[in-house]
Structure 1
Amino acid sequence: MNSRLYRYLRILACVPLLAGGGHVHADAAKAGRFYEDALVRFQGNDVPGAIIQLKNALQQDRDMLAAHLLLAKAYLSSGDVGPAEVEFKEALRLGADREVVVVPLAQIYLMQGRYQLLIDSIKPDGLSLPAKVDVLSLRGTALGNVGKSIDATRSFEEARALDSLSPVPLLAEVPRLIAGGELDVARVRAERAVELAPDLAAAHNALASVKHAAGDLAGALAGYEKAISLQPGFVDAVVARAGILIDLSRDAEAVSTLAVLDTASEPRARYLQALLATRRGDAAAASRYMEEAAGLVDALPSEWLATQEQILMVGALAHYSGRQYEKARKYLEALTGRYPRNIGARRLLAAVLVDMGEYPRAATLLDQVLRDLPDDPQTLHLLGRVQLAQKRYARATELFERALAAGGRSSELQASLGASRLGQGERAAGISNLKAAFEHNPQDLGVAVTLANLLVREGQKPDALAVAMRVVEALPDDPSALNLLGLIKASTGDAEGARQAYVEAVRKSPGFMPAQLNLIRADIESGRLDEARSLLDTLLRKNKRDGIAMYEMAMLEQRAGRHAEASRWFERAAAERPNDVRIVLGLVELRSAAGDRVGAREAAYGLALRRKGDLGVMAALANTEIAAGDLRSAQQTLREMTALAEFDATALVRIGYLQLAAANPDAAVYAARKAMQGRPADLAAMALMVQAERMRKDSPAVDSALQALRKQHPGSSIGMRLAGDVAMDRGQPAQAVERYRQAFELQPDFDLVTRLASAHVLLGKPEQGAVWVRRWLQRAPDDMSAYSVLAELEMRKGDWVAARRGYEKVVASGRFDARTLNNLANVLIHLGEGDPVALAQQALAMAPGDVAIVDTLGWALARAGRYDEAIRHLRDARLRAPQDAEIRWHLGFALARQGRADEARAELQAALQDGAQSAWTDEARELLKKL
């Protein structure tokens, strides 16, 4: 029989009631057949076919754990990480063992950039060696990505120590070492990985990356080529190889290399295509590719993106080319903060700051770059622009001339020199210089923008308009040129002309954000609210997290008088920016009730930010953090609450119990002591102290806390109850019985009855426990929970008939739960009577996914000869509890009866491997011999 019955008897505390709903589909056998077909397809690399069959299985039985788990693996293998994460979490919710899902979940979190979640929730403890090595390697990467370099190094070292022959931790560490400039160590790691796994593309790519960073372009090219030969379409290797080829002016080879990729989804490839288009003189294609690269980068998860040096740079360059300085700055600040060695990023950030008018910081950055590259013409040019903006014209002219002498040849540099001369009062020379630069290259949009803007500032708007119109003529398909024309027309007061320029820019390049936003603003200004709303809807469909578009929508709705909608959009925009936001506590409660732990936590966190010091809000946040398993964050929130609560005993006790839930008994002790400073005799605070010391397992402190409570409250049932719990902690059931008895006499309740029964069971006297239960039933003859406990005690005595009567009484009352049905089903299996299958099915419908019930149902089906259905449920149970020997015995039995000898043999061997003796082991050994 199945020995994993629900125990109403508790050793330390009552078994909590389980709540839940669900169903068992009538056609479980059909679901099992779909699953088995999907398994064959998946093993044969027919992943799409496997996904279809798994969905079919789940249509028959939505709670089929094995199907959810295999579907997660199928999605992950096809790169669809969002649905994969959903399915892995569903498998966990349904009871899958952590060993089965921990590595793929960690990989998903890393791919999504959710590093802190990986660190907090994916631990190596209790895993097998391969899984532990993988998890430690993934954690090392995540720790490095959140700036915990020492912890990252330690994690990689531990992984290598566990398995010195695995290339996994070596390859995981290489990117971090390259970013830190530790190229020699990186080379050692990469070479060792190649030695261990010569046919692994990732190993050759890692070694090529090291050579690339060291300037060995020939060696890097060879390495990337090797990686691509081993794994065609290896994106990192393809992009890196193409980049080197472009640097070497081998454009045809670069085009051929990129042709193997779906460049529409790879921002680095799109950026390289923009460079190639620029070299071909195809400005429209270059602009389009830059826009697409920017959009692709924007769509990436922000936490993951923050650790990707190349992609951050692509995003910054793409946005800078489109004059989206705020976005470019965001990427560059992330990049320079994490990769301070990247001189190009520092220089580009300075350029952005110059364009945004933040000249002091730009000058500081440029001075730093000049210390590394004293004659760099780009840096000299930028620093000259800073001086120009600050009207230090002589110094600007000097820097521009130095840039020209150092080899700077851009028309923009010449235009800047012209502007500085204008500032020095050399008006004719300056304007002549600028116009000459523009005439030399009217397709140089940068020069056109500089000249036109300077002319506008000089009051020469017709001349500025002429420049803008000339650049549009030179670049008729370039939306940036049309956007410039719109801006210049707007500056001249031609609002309709400006709007038409923006419309044309958007028509030519629907994804060009500057023109779109300028068109929206023009429409709002002129009262074309419907047109503006339509454009904003399009933007938000493309990027739902575009805070600027949300802000514009809020302004539009405010202008239209739709205040509720304006408020909604302001809140959404503020959540992205994130300033001046409002989130209601009811949202936290709603999401929590719906099981959306992540969403609840996010809402609670936003609310806590905006209502600092509100203990109720912070308690809600702590609860969501605990529910999400982020105990570290919960403990920090609770520490802040403890400080804010001052000496409010009620608040401190509440905080203390939350600390216990967050596995921080030391903090709970502190909260209890602080509460008692304000109210020294507070019973709740003193009880909290005992519970906290129990969790700390500090015997002297537990005794002191308990003695203080009982001295202060000698007639308290709580004190006696806690004394009994402490005795049970120490393996003293006889003493616990006496304390629980005294507590019961002070204040009778069923919780104490279950404690008394548990203590008597430990004493080997279940009949004495039954006496207490019967005594309680004299007080409360309709207490069905008491009848359930009594039935379990009858089973412990071996009186299965009496146990059946007890459970059937509870069921007949209508006041039963899934545990009662499960236990009754097991009694019937043992007696060979009744319909245990129906009872187990009913129990599973009430508590779907509970491993004991899943196993009971499978075992009942197996004993009834319904092996197809039995195997489906027993597989499910094994996935939830793979270390449970009895479940494996049940599965082995069913597989053997189905004629699947190899699988049955494996399950029976696993069930019997520890040599323990149970009621079923003799039967299992006999069956194994027959197989």
Structure 2
Amino acid sequence: MTAATQIKLDKSDRALETLAPLLTPETQDVQALVIASDAYRARNEHAKAAALLQRAAQSDPRNASIQTLLGVAHLNMGDASLAITELETAATMDAGHYKADSLLAQTYLNRREYDKALAAIATLEKKLPGNAVTHNMRALAYLGKKDPALARKSFEQALAIDRAYFPAAANLAQLDVRDGKPDNARKRFERILQADKNNLQAMMALAELATRQAQQQETVEWLEKAIKLHPAAIPPHAALAGHHLTRRNFREALAVANAAANANPDSPEALTLLAKTQQASGDHPSAIATFNRLTQKVGHSPDAFLQLALAQIAGKQLGPARVSLQKALKLKADHVPSQETLIRLEMTENRPDAALQIARQMQAQQPDSPLGYDREGDLHLAQNNIPQAVRAYQQAIDKGAGSVGLVKWFRAQVIDNPQVAEQRLDDWLKQHPKDHAARAYAAEYAMRTGRNKEAIAHYETINRLTPNKALLLNNLANLYLLEKDRRALATAEQALKLAPNSPVVQDTLGWILVQQGQAPRGLEWLKKAVAQAPKQAAIRYHHAAALAQTGNKAQARQELEKLLADTSKFPEADAARALLKRL
């Protein structure tokens, strides 16, 4: 078996063994170097892949394909600047070679350097004239430049070249939905099906559009049609199983997932879908058995053993779960999701020292990353070791943890020394005035500590810089209400326009209306809120208070009695008891 074939069969280790005799330090065998680099790429060892490609490029310096692969390797390593240099070099080597130009344009798009992307696309178009892909990429650049009119024009040009070109239709459909024209979006996908009646992507998109419009039957019909025409395709099976799971139709979901597995007996993706569906349905033994089958098929995959461990944890099999996680880490010692899961498992079993050891292994494996120090801080905080937690979080900040690290540091420091914590947060915001995450936390902290005007100032600052955030406006409306600021109602109405189906926003608007003497109108919104969030104590109290104010005292009393029987502790519990006593 050749090395290239072994890589295709997901046996990169075997491929490297096959190639080993050819990979001497002196070799100039370009083909062997390129294939070996592909094996390392499959193992996510991108630095080794790049080193081999560098040697291949030195042996064949005018080979545009090798130069392009070298650029891709540097992209995989996260070095976009060097990748751009390599791709620019490759693009000049061969007038007939366009892959480097395409990757270069895509890299600029990913970096949001839209003018450079447009220039690269213009060069690509000379090599690849009359191609839908170039028009689609140009449209994406125009979208990045906030020019939807030119973007639409380029998307339409892509479809004029290829009526069944799905990416352009999908992008235009997104613009249609954004503009409140879902019927136009639907027609675009239907036109794709007219050009290509079996187009799977178009059927999936029509199903998703139907879901957005709460057309559940149509969603199911499109997904079932997709499965009938593409019985081995995993995505429609996954979407239909997920649809049934969200409605707790476990039998139907399992039938769909089993059909996918039966149609794809050798597919890890199909086994994963089946196992996750079994787990979501509460059948942990079956999920564990299916994940075991998955590890037998892809025994080199740490992700497979991680998923098995998560299923074992859900099934209360903690000992086997630890073994599975250890196998994952044997395959990849720095597999972060497995390390984090093992940390949680150790803490569940009251083994903080073992958990701390894993966090410190993470630090040793990734000395420039904040992650290991962040996890050490979490572990110390969980044990109420505040000084150690503060120290670890500070190390995470020093390694680049940013506002997330600062907030964690604050939560630890404020326990021992609120004054120091608050001063640090103030200083941070002065140094980073556009750090919305830190400022939002400062606003939440101010709310919790009763400093409403300070919280309002923070939220107003964020709203000026990034307007039209529903949750922020909702919080601001609540604060205005507490401070008897007449802007409360208008702010809540603005939040509702942005999130019309949010029970939290409906509750805020309804409660403000009740408090401002418009109880009948407020009750309508509170009915909608409580219907969507029947377990939220604050919403239930507001609904009961609105019932009382609109004259329905018997139902209000009934709602309050049930609320206080269900939960006796929530911020407005005393107000609820007082209202019940008055009724």
Question: When the two structures are superposed, what TM-score results if normalisation uses the length of structure 1?
Answer: 0.34
SS at match of 1:872: helix
Map Cα deviations across residues 542-573 of structure 1 (whole Å, 9 max, x no partner).
xxx9xxxxxxxxxxxxxxxxxxxxxx999859
Deviation at 1:827, TM superposition (A): 0.5
- Residue in structure 2 matched with residue 822 of structure 1 by the alignment: 474
Alignment of 1:61-140 (within 5 A): none
Deviation at 1:863, TM superposition (A): 0.8
Map Cα deviations across residues 778-814 of structure 1 (whole Å, 9 max, x no partner).
5653332322112112223322112112112222333
Residue 402 (structure 2) pairs with residue 749 (structure 1)? yes
Percent of residue pairs bearing the same amino acid type = 26
Corresponding residue to 2:342 among 676, 680, 689? 689
CA contact (8 A) 2:305 2:325 kept: yes
Looking at structure 1, the residues matched to 225 and 270 of structure 2 have their Cα atoms a distance apart, in angstroms, of 23
Amino acid at match of 1:903: Q
Alignment of 1:436-455 (within 5 A): none
- Residue in structure 2 matched with residue 410 of structure 1 by the alignment: none
- Residue in structure 2 matched with residue 638 of structure 1 by the alignment: 291
Corresponding residue to 2:233 among 554, 579, 584? 584
- Residue in structure 2 matched with residue 726 of structure 1 by the alignment: 379
Number of residue equivalences: 359
- Residue in structure 2 matched with residue 678 of structure 1 by the alignment: 331
Map Cα deviations across residues 284-324 of structure 1 (whole Å, 9 max, x no partner).
xxxxxxxxxxxxxxxxxxxxxxxxxxxxxxxxxxxxxxxxx
Map Cα deviations across residues 851-897 of structure 1 (whole Å, 9 max, x no partner).
43343232112112222232233344445555654434323322221
Deviation at 1:920, TM superposition (A): 4.6
Deviation at 1:823, TM superposition (A): 1.2
Looking at structure 2, the residues matched to 686 and 787 of structure 1 have their Cα atoms a distance apart, in angstroms, of 31
Deviation at 1:753, TM superposition (A): 2.6
* Unmatched runs of 5 consecutive residues or more in structure 2: 1-210, 215-220
Alignment of 1:389-404 (within 5 A): none
Residue 442 (structure 2) pairs with residue 793 (structure 1)? no
CA contact (8 A) 2:241 2:253 kept: yes
CA contact (8 A) 2:459 2:476 kept: yes
Deviation at 1:645, TM superposition (A): 2.7
Looking at structure 2, the residues matched to 922 and 571 of structure 1 have their Cα atoms a distance apart, in angstroms, of 55
Residue 501 (structure 2) pairs with residue 852 (structure 1)? no
Corresponding residue to 2:550 among 873, 898, 917? 898
CA contact (8 A) 1:888 1:910 kept: no
Q: Which has the higher contact order (CA 8 A, sep 6+)?
A: 1
Alignment of 1:766-785 (within 5 A): 768-774=420-426, 776-777=428-429, 780-785=432-437
- Residue in structure 2 matched with residue 607 of structure 1 by the alignment: 260
- Residue in structure 1 matched with residue 523 of structure 2 by the alignment: 871
CA contact (8 A) 2:495 2:505 kept: yes
CA contact (8 A) 1:672 1:689 kept: yes
Residue 455 (structure 2) pairs with residue 803 (structure 1)? yes
Deviation at 1:831, TM superposition (A): 0.8
Going from structure 1 to structure 2, the CA distance change for 1:777 and 1:929 (only over 3 Å counts) comes to: closer
- Residue in structure 2 matched with residue 555 of structure 1 by the alignment: none
Looking at structure 2, the residues matched to 663 and 847 of structure 1 have their Cα atoms a distance apart, in angstroms, of 39
Amino acid at match of 2:483: L
Q: Which of these two proteins has the greater Rg computed from alpha carbons?
A: 1
Looking at structure 1, the residues matched to 461 and 434 of structure 2 have their Cα atoms a distance apart, in angstroms, of 10
Deviation at 1:616, TM superposition (A): 3.1
CA contact (8 A) 1:587 1:603 kept: no
Deviation at 1:617, TM superposition (A): 3.2
Map Cα deviations across residues 500-554 of structure 1 (whole Å, 9 max, x no partner).
xxxxxxxxxxxxxxxxxxxxxxxxxxxxxxxxxxxxxxxxxxxxx9xxxxxxxxx
Going from structure 1 to structure 2, the CA distance change for 1:923 and 1:677 (only over 3 Å counts) comes to: closer
Coordinate RMSD, CA, aligned: 4.2
Looking at structure 1, the residues matched to 500 and 241 of structure 2 have their Cα atoms a distance apart, in angstroms, of 20
Deviation at 1:673, TM superposition (A): 0.7
Deviation at 1:682, TM superposition (A): 5.1
Going from structure 1 to structure 2, the CA distance change for 1:753 and 1:569 (only over 3 Å counts) comes to: closer
Alignment of 1:131-150 (within 5 A): none
Corresponding residue to 1:617 among 266, 270, 291? 270
Deviation at 1:830, TM superposition (A): 0.4
Map Cα deviations across residues 361-398 of structure 1 (whole Å, 9 max, x no partner).
xxxxxxxxxxxxxxxxxxxxxxxxxxxxxxxxxxxxxx
Looking at structure 2, the residues matched to 614 and 743 of structure 1 have their Cα atoms a distance apart, in angstroms, of 40
Deviation at 1:742, TM superposition (A): 1.4
Deviation at 1:921, TM superposition (A): 5.3
Looking at structure 2, the residues matched to 688 and 866 of structure 1 have their Cα atoms a distance apart, in angstroms, of 51
Deviation at 1:706, TM superposition (A): 3.7
Alignment of 1:277-676 (within 5 A): 572=228, 582-588=231-237, 590-591=239-240, 602-626=255-279, 631-649=284-302, 651-653=304-306, 656=309, 668-676=321-329
Looking at structure 2, the residues matched to 720 and 927 of structure 1 have their Cα atoms a distance apart, in angstroms, of 49
Looking at structure 2, the residues matched to 570 and 784 of structure 1 have their Cα atoms a distance apart, in angstroms, of 43
Residue 385 (structure 2) pairs with residue 736 (structure 1)? no
Amino acid at match of 2:409: L
CA contact (8 A) 1:889 1:908 kept: yes
Map Cα deviations across residues 692-724 of structure 1 (whole Å, 9 max, x no partner).
433555445424434554555565422211112
Looking at structure 1, the residues matched to 537 and 335 of structure 2 have their Cα atoms a distance apart, in angstroms, of 48
CA contact (8 A) 2:291 2:304 kept: no
Alignment of 1:826-845 (within 5 A): 826-844=478-496
SS at match of 2:375: helix
Residue 358 (structure 2) pairs with residue 705 (structure 1)? yes
Looking at structure 2, the residues matched to 569 and 894 of structure 1 have their Cα atoms a distance apart, in angstroms, of 47
Amino acid at match of 2:449: K
CA contact (8 A) 1:822 1:853 kept: yes
Amino acid at match of 2:462: V
Amino acid at match of 1:827: L
CA contact (8 A) 1:784 1:810 kept: yes
CA contact (8 A) 2:477 2:492 kept: yes
